[in-house]
Amino acid sequence: MTHIATWIGLWCCRWIAFGPRFLRTGVIWILACLAFWLSPGRRHIAMTNLRLCFPQWSELRRHQIVKQHFECYARAFIERFAVWFGSPQKIRQMVALNGLEHLRAAEGQPVIVLAPHFLGLDAGGLRFQLECRFVSMYSNQSNPLLNEWTLRGRTRFNDPVIVPRQQGILTVVRWLKRGLPLYFLPDMDFGPRDAVFASFFGLPAATVTSVVRLSRSLNAVVVPLVTEMTADGYVATFYPGWQHPDDDAVETIAQGVEKMNRFIEARILERPEQYLWTHRRFKTRPPGDPPVYG
């Protein structure tokens, strides 16, 4: 029954994504309301994250941002099916791609495309995929049918290499050395392993060091790609790249992670409702610190 319900739900979402705009807008509004009111756990996580990151904001403003976040989340979920199944022409019309000169400036060197968890991530990733082949890491979904649709939707063009996270980073390194850019999403709490506690809006957050270590060891350029939702589509923007010094000192690694977090913070301040606040970004705490999500 679960398999059948998932299959029906996915096909309905696909139909809505390509249906009339008024229908899509109505469904997105209903989904946003349901998600906001029927997901107290996710709402609590988002509110807690905003209280921690923006203590200077009023509770009313945080509440408004969380409501807008759920609206953006619902829209990104439905429109994900348009990029998963739309033609290349439709994707190009739907998702503008800016700043390609920053990616081209790194030609001839290994490239790490830093893609923070903004809600337009799928749209930006598929638009980038139209330009070149890349390698990326992937966490399997618990639902097999959803996992199949997700992988199929995210691997449509230019034969990308998708590496299960369980395989670790060595497979990714081999593809980087072969010249494929790495589309990498490092701004989540994956636990204390291979992470440092770097400041994120003034709080220590467990942050993986993979970007810094790969950049240092392979002389790779880190080129950020941030996808913004607009009124009628998406804009994916490459930013100027940077490199990290070939120094494995703990202080140098920590400084590199802090640099990445400062960049992500600056982009969040531009569009706070579009960042993935429903993720437990502060789940892993430094020794002795109490849990923050209750």
Look at residue 99 in the predicted model and tell me its pLDDT: 97
CB atoms under 10 Å from CB of 129, counted, come to: 22
Give φ, ψ of 49 to 5 degrees.
Answer: -60, -45
Look at residue 1 in the predicted model and tell me its pLDDT: 57
Separation CA 138–CA 38 (nearest Å): 28
Separation CA 101–CA 186 (nearest Å): 23
| E strand spans, the chain | 95-98, 111-114, 135-138, 161-164, 182-184, 195-200, 203-208, 221-230, 233-238
CA distance readout (Å), 11 to 20, 21, 82: 16, 17, 12
* 8 Å CB contact between 115 and 126: no
Tens-digit pLDDT string for the chain (294 aa): 567 888 899 999 999 999 999 999 999 999 999 999 999 999 999 999 999 999 999 999 999 999 999 999 999 999 999 999 999 999 999 999 999 999 999 989 999 999 999 999 999 999 999 999 999 998 888 888 888 999 999 999 999 999 988 777 889 999 999 999 999 998 999 999 889 999 999 999 999 999 999 999 899 999 999 999 999 999 999 999 999 877 666 778 889 999 999 999 999 999 999 999 999 999 999 999 999 998
Look at residue 134 in the predicted model and tell me its pLDDT: 95
Look at residue 2 in the predicted model and tell me its pLDDT: 67
- Show the tokens assigned to 5: 């319900």
Q: Is the dihedral of CA 149, 155, 159, 165 positive or negative?
A: negative
Q: So where are the chain's domains?
A: 88-274
Look at residue 4 in the predicted model and tell me its pLDDT: 86
Look at residue 175 in the predicted model and tell me its pLDDT: 94
Look at residue 167 in the predicted model and tell me its pLDDT: 79
Q: Is the dihedral of CA 132, 242, 173, 177 positive or negative?
A: positive
Separation CA 260–CA 234 (nearest Å): 23
